[in-house]
Amino acid sequence: MCWAFDFGKRGFSLRYILLILMLVFPNAKLNLGLYITSQRPDGFRNLESVFVPLPWTDALEVVSAAETTLSLTGIPIPGEPSTNLCLRAYELLKADFTLPPVHLHLHKVVPIGAGLGGGSGDAAFALRALNELFELALPPETLEAYARRLGSDCAFFVRNKPVFAYEKGDVFEDISLNLTDTACKVVYPNMHISTAEAYARVQPRTPRHDLRAALVQPVETWRETISNDFEDALTPYYPVLGEIKQALYAAGAAYASLSGSGSAVYGLFPGQEQPPLMQLPAAYQVWDGRL
Ligand SMILES: C[C@](O)(CO)[C@H](O)COP(=O)(O)OP(=O)(O)OC[C@H]1O[C@@H](n2ccc(N)nc2=O)[C@H](O)[C@@H]1O
Ligand SMILES: Nc1ncnc2c1ncn2[C@@H]1O[C@H](COP(=O)(O)OP(=O)(O)OP(=O)(O)O)[C@@H](O)[C@H]1O
């Protein structure tokens, strides 16, 4: 926001120029366990999973402009910019509210086709930023309803806190997790796995464990109880997923798993300040930190 002084022909006047700008950092997510439980009549699958925010972030700037445009930097995003989820989020709200034009700039950092929900986070953060900037005063439930229309993973990023997710992965129950003092390493083998392809390879089945009950036990027990149904289905086609998981266990992870439909694989290292250094192929991207 800024003030401008105008000493034009009509004498002194004080003009108020409203420059609206917001910078947000859409984060990624990890799935702690993922069970694909049944086929739905709408063609989607019902699932059970626990979602946690992963602080691996993009940067998204929203600024008032003469016309609506999108610019992109960072990792190239497949597909036409007009189909970018940030623009689709803007168009969705614009259909129901009087929104001025905006320029959106997305700097893409989170790997794509990784099961980290990178695009979904961008979409939800765009909705949240527009809601705040233009004082739409939409409550989280309403933002979640808009987010669901953009993708199954999007609604999670509205409240952006650990939840037990079910149905399409877009209906939530609060969950309390204790991951303090747990270091995390996420490895992306520079390989894009399509979510639709991944779902097509999985046969729905009843979960073998109650995820909520298993997750309150120490992380060291999760290896025996918690799994991701995509892992068994995809590893025969992408053996590198199994190799990364084994490497994380060899490095001392208490629990390692594929996130979502892959291809990112993460390891959890309770009681450690930093995840251990690992020798990985130079092309792989690695995120080290804490959840
Ligand atoms: C694998 C997860 O990341 C787990 O959190 C998500 O389920 C994926 O969510 P997403 O990327 O937002 O997926 P969407 O864009 O909604 O759907 C992409 C495709 O995945 C399949 N899909 C997705 C979600 C779901 N519950 N059942 C499905 O069968 C559908 O074939 C759909 O056409
Ligand atoms: N802002 C965006 N960032 C990333 N991908 C986007 C974006 N907007 C649209 N897309 C499309 O979405 C596809 C992948 O989305 P995304 O990054 O969410 O997949 P993912 O990492 O596999 O996550 P998940 O399957 O867990 O939702 C890309 O191929 C791209 O065409």
Q: Supply the CATH number for residue 204's domain.
A: 3.30.70.890
What residues have CB less than 8 Å from 165, skipping those under 6 apart?
A: 47, 48, 49, 50, 51, 156, 171, 172
0.90 cut: is pTM over it? yes
- Domain span at residue 72 reads 21-174
Neighbours of 71 (CB within 10 A): 11
Q: How far apart are CA 22 and CA 83, in angstroms?
A: 22
Dig out the tokens for 103 from the structure: 């320029």
Cα 26 → chain centroid:
8
Dig out the tokens for 223 from the structure: 């290896």
Catalytic residue among 122, 153, 170, 229: 153
Whether ipTM tops 0.90, in short, is yes
- Predicted local distance difference test score (pLDDT) of residue 18: 61
- Same domain (yes/no): 81, 39: yes
Question: 118 alpha carbon to ligand 2 midpoint, in Å?
Answer: 6
Q: Which residues of the chain have pLDDT under 50?
A: 1-16
Among protein residues, the one with the nearest Cα to ligand 2's atom 15 is 119
Tell me whether residue 11 is in a domain. no
- Predicted local distance difference test score (pLDDT) of residue 54: 98
Question: 122 alpha carbon to ligand 1 midpoint, in Å?
Answer: 16
- Predicted local distance difference test score (pLDDT) of residue 9: 44
Tell me whether residue 1 is in a domain. no
200 in ligand 1 pocket by Cβ < 6 Å? no
Catalytic site includes residue 29: yes
Q: How far apart are CA 37 and CA 15, in angstroms?
A: 60
Nearest residue to 233 via CA among 17, 16, 35? 35
Counting beta carbons within 10 angstroms of the beta carbon of residue 196, is it exposed (0 to 12), middle (13 to 18) or buried (19 or more)?
exposed
Cβ atoms of 69 and 106 within 8 Å: the answer is no
Dihedral angle, C-alpha 261, 162, 173, 221, nearest 10 °: 70
Tell me whether residue 5 is in a domain. no
- Same domain (yes/no): 242, 132: no
- Same domain (yes/no): 53, 106: yes
Report the domain count for the chain: 2
Neighbours of 135 (CB within 10 A): 7
| Residue carrying structure tokens 């765009």 | 126
Q: What CATH number does the domain containing 50 carry?
A: 3.30.230.10
- Same domain (yes/no): 30, 159: yes
User: Which residue among 27, 30, 85 has the greatest number of ligand 2 atoms within 8 angstroms of its CB, and so is best to mutate?
Assistant: 85
Dig out the tokens for 185 from the structure: 């390493």
Q: CA of 157: how far to CAs of 127, 141, 147, 172, 263, in Å?
A: 10, 12, 9, 11, 20
User: Which residue among 152, 157, 168, 231 has the greatest number of ligand 1 atoms within 8 angstroms of its CB, and so is best to mutate?
Assistant: 152
